[in-house]
Structure 1
Amino acid sequence: MAEPAVPHATHQVPAHIAIIMDGNGRWAQQRGLPRIEGHRRGVETVRRIIDATREFGVRMLTLYAFSAENWRRPQDEVGALMRLLELYLKRELKTFVKNRIQLRTIGRTHELPPGAQRQLARTIKATRDFSDYTLTLALNYGSRSEVVDAAHSYAAALAAGEISPSDRSWESFSRHLYTGDLPDPDLVIRTSGETRLSNFLLLQAAYAEFVFTPVLWPDFGRDDLAQAIAEYSRRERRYGKTSAQCGGSDEQ
């Protein structure tokens, strides 16, 4: 039987979904189109998935938009991606405000082109007071560089006496990550058939559930998201406990 187009009432809906949006270039190449056309279609998918997550009751969405490694791509493609980011933010600002969507970023955004930085700042400022729904864009993001930055920040706080040397808790350190005041993702989705994390939220996804789909990002739609949520709802999240401790019947 096919999965329902909308998560069933009995499905456990994740509060926070993170998505590795993969396959834009391959989508374009399969159709004999320039790679940037795949990225343009990918932006349309972003709009569609934001609407779907809000409809399904998911309150937080994090999208891997540009990795720290993506600078290695051809410069014309990188330039086009930055222009596309700036245009997207300009076009969507009214929608963000109307739907009370707070925009946030993670990553070394200070290294982005000035135009993209300015538009990000405008959008973040205009939406910072909203709490109904949070969209986080991972831009110039890499989990390893995040750990380096967090370690520097933690060491500075320790030297300043803001942290006790005896406090070696994850909770204390995690506040210095880019995501310090965000909950960890419950579900991580990667499109296009690849089955790796590619330096994305390596620490935050320690207990996340993963769904890998062969669907290329420009083709990923509302029903695909519903299927991923349905798959998530079938998982038992034990966090180191046994199945019996979590209410299941079998010891694990």
Structure 2
Amino acid sequence: MTDALGWRRKFGVLAPSTNTIVEPDFYRMGVPGVTAHFGRIHIHDQDMSDDAGMGRLLDQIRAEMDATCARVMTCEPDYMVMGMSAETFWGGVEGNQRFVKQIKDATGLEVATGAQACQRALELYGARRIGVVTPYQPIGDANVVRFFGELGFEVGAIMGLRCPTAVSIAHVTDNELRDALREVDGDDIDALVQCGTNLSMVRLADEAERWLGKPVLAINAATWWMALRDNGIQDQLEGAGGLLRDH
């Protein structure tokens, strides 16, 4: 039998319990016949005010991942989507591959990650030198730089906003993000990338592409784009950036 609403695809999404942005973002970018079903990863200590705090946060993610996968699999999804980006950059390319294998082993399904989605998008645009905005502490930024560097991209500038808690990431304003984009941009920058699925950036990235004249990849838009295209869904969307509109 075909699902009444998810008649094209049902996506299982893994997201931290503290994240208030990725779920409404994915719903806003919804297309007919595709539904997203969230498994919440329990975060009991959301302090990420320093490098050690970020490490503890990721330890919780890893400890909860298999159980979260098991819960979301009960709705019988067709494909998995990672609604958190830090873990997908951690440990560089090899770390991303380990994470993808963990999800495949736990669910038997393919998975879209923010890191891979950004890689595909940057290759599509032919970008080599990039500017990056994150909500992370320095250790998180270092892992982002490592991931892109191992793939041959050059991070020309990176700004970590050093959000003190996981929930506070969602409190970053458009003005703060606009200033951050300008800070990491330059004539020698081919594209801008925003990491952190709890940063509200999809709408602003769409606007920024017009006034900066270059690709601006919001992590939630890029991840959703990868999930749709991996499943043969070519619907084009307005208001979520050129990636979903034109590719």
TM bucket, shorter chain: 0.3 to 0.5
Normalising by the residue count of structure 2, what TM-score does the alignment of the two structures yield?
Answer: 0.35
Higher-RCO chain (CA-CA 8 Å, sequence separation at least 6): 1
More helix by share: 2
Between Structure 1 and Structure 2, whose CA radius of gyration is higher? 1
Normalising by the residue count of structure 1, what TM-score does the alignment of the two structures yield?
Answer: 0.34
